[in-house]
Amino acid sequence: MKPRHESLRLAAVTFGLGCLLCCDAEPDPRGEAITAVGVASVAADESDDYGDWMDRPSSEWPHIAMINQIDYTDKHHPVAGCGFLLDTGDRILAATAKHVLLYFKSESMDSVAFEGTLKQWRMFPKDSPEEIVVLDRLINEDPEEPLQAGRSSTDTDWLLFTIKERSPKIQPLRLRSRPLQRGETVFVIGWRYTDTGRPQVVYEGRFVESERGSILTAIEELADNTVPGLSGAPVIDAEGYLIGLMSKKAGRKERASSLDYPRSIIDGRGLQD
């Protein structure tokens, strides 16, 4: 993989500067429950060296992707797709794919609302289960939005949570503000359910096009993939900025939900505890 500055220079020459699957779970990698210990609100980090890790080999990147582990009053889901932390500028939020709830819910859930059935939702890197993020309030909870197969829309395929507790070793992602250029290098970070016993997997590809609240990427390593698990994984650009959230397959390409929906949530709803 090219260093960040080299990728940007190549993009300037070639294109000009101007600007998933979720199904069966696998055994609990921890083998035990995790207890929440922190309740303080979490403010956004500020760092002048954001994205410097992109100049290093991907094996040396900080923890970015996590897996979901969900406990309801009547069910335990040890691995339920992927998630990550989102830096809004003044708060750190947790994000994952909304369609995860189609497969990993309580017996009584029939909408995007927990109705008192959620005991605890945790995220942590698959290879470092001690680096815990404990989720709090689902910001875009909606009891009027049904959970039905075929009703999930890619452009709104986000769950956004406030946070009770988070490990400082998890790197929050900032939102990209510039438009994407066709052919730009992109990365999907996470784990399929068969990716066990290894650090976060970085899949490199390129941006193809945007359409109706989603972005299409071409990632050769995932072109023929039929193994679920990457739903909710972050998609970032060559500078480490978030450009989307993994949603579903689109033939031999990957369709990610764009930043339009989370931006509307962040701008339009209060983030108070």
CATH class entry, domain 4-20+174-260: mainly beta
CA-closest candidate to residue 19, choices 199, 210, 154:
210
How many residues would you count in the chain?
Answer: 273
pLDDT in tens, 234-270: 999 999 999 999 999 899 999 999 999 999 998 875 4
pLDDT in tens, 119-167: 999 999 999 999 999 999 999 999 999 988 766 688 999 999 999 999 9
What helix, strand, coil percent values describe the chain, rounded to 5?
15, 35, 50
The reply to whether 52-170+261-268 shares the fold of 4-20+174-260 is yes
Confidence of residue 31 (pLDDT cuts 50, 70, 90): very low
Mean pLDDT, rounded, of the chain: 84
Residue 273 is predicted with a pLDDT of 46
Residue 42 is predicted with a pLDDT of 42
Alpha-carbon distances, residue 257 vs 92, 96, 262 (angstroms): 19, 11, 10
Residue 172 is predicted with a pLDDT of 98
Q: Please report, for the chain, the start and end positions of each structural domain, with discontinuous segments joined by +.
A: 4-20+174-260, 52-170+261-268
The pTM is what? 0.82
Q: At 237, which amino acid appears? A: D
Secondary structure of residue 228 in the 3-state scheme: coil
pLDDT in tens, 41-57: 344 444 468 999 999 99
Answer whether residue 218 shows pLDDT above 90.
Answer: yes
CATH class entry, domain 52-170+261-268: mainly beta
Alpha-carbon distances, residue 229 vs 50, 77, 100, 246 (angstroms): 28, 13, 10, 10
CA distance 64 to 125: 8
